[in-house]
Amino acid sequence: MKINRQGQAKVLTEQELHDLFTIGLLTPRDRLLFGICLYTGCRIGEACSLAWADVTTDAMTFRIEKTKTKSSRTVAISPALQALFDEYRQQQCFRFSSSYVFRGKQVGSHLHPSMAHKILKAATDRIGVRGVSTHSFRRTALTMMCRKGINLRVIQKISFYSGLRPSD
């Protein structure tokens, strides 16, 4: 839920991120789901629909093919994100198999973005942070890239985000 930001998702602080990933998000699945959004700047729908076939461990990249723009891109997996993948794989391989990284309720389906919203709401309630939406992870990722001095054109290429301005 966005609060008084004229339609913009909240940019999360380092402390809020720490609290979310250590206290708020309870399972390896949830940490990986929102870790993908944070470390790659992808949209929640892209993360939810990610298939295991799109993930390559040797190159440490994954392909998001079901994007809002109907195109695909390959995004590097950072060591921190790789650790989240490893934690999830260990837990997931004993429970069930699915072609999707985030299995949905229906056989052969992926986790629906509305379920991701519910997971995040419970996590933010747990740590007492308000105004966070699933888009906050994408906005936080892009903001962190800008603050690190990464060229806006590079960020646009990574994120397929055409509306970036220096103030974002």
Q: How confident is the model at residue 38 (pLDDT cuts 50, 70, 90)?
A: very high
Q: How confident is the model at residue 76 (pLDDT cuts 50, 70, 90)?
A: confident
Contact (CB, 8 A) for 51 and 62: no
Q: Is the pLDDT at 51 greater than 80, yes or no?
A: yes
Percentage above 70 pLDDT, the chain: 78
Rounded CA-CA distance 113/127 in Å is: 21
Distances (CA, A) of 127 to 106, 108, 121: 30, 33, 10
Residues in the chain: 168
Sheet of 61-64: strand order equals 55-56, 61-64, 73-76
Between these two residues, 20 and 149, which has the higher pLDDT value?
A: 20
User: Looking at residue 142, what is its pLDDT?
Assistant: 87
What mean pLDDT, rounded, does the chain reach? Answer: 83
Convert the pLDDT of each residue in 101-156 to its tens digit. Answer: 999 988 889 999 999 999 999 999 999 999 999 999 999 998 888 888 888 777 77
**pTM of this prediction?**
0.83
Rounded CA-CA distance 13/156 in Å is: 22
Q: Is 14-137 a CATH 3.40.50.2000 domain?
A: no
User: Looking at residue 89, what is its pLDDT?
Assistant: 87
Contact (CB, 8 A) for 141 and 39: yes
Residue 90 main-chain phi, psi, to 5 deg: -60, -45
Q: Tell me the DSSP string of the chain.
A: ---SSTTPPPPPPHHHHHHIIIII--SHHHHHHHHHHHHH---HHHHHT-BGGGEETTTTEEEE-S-TTS--EEEEPPHHHHHHHHHHHHHHTTT---SBSSB-SSTT-BPPHHHHHHHHHHHHHHHT--S--THHHHHHHHHHHHHTT--HHHHHHHHT-TT--TT-
Spell out the domain ranges in the chain: 14-137
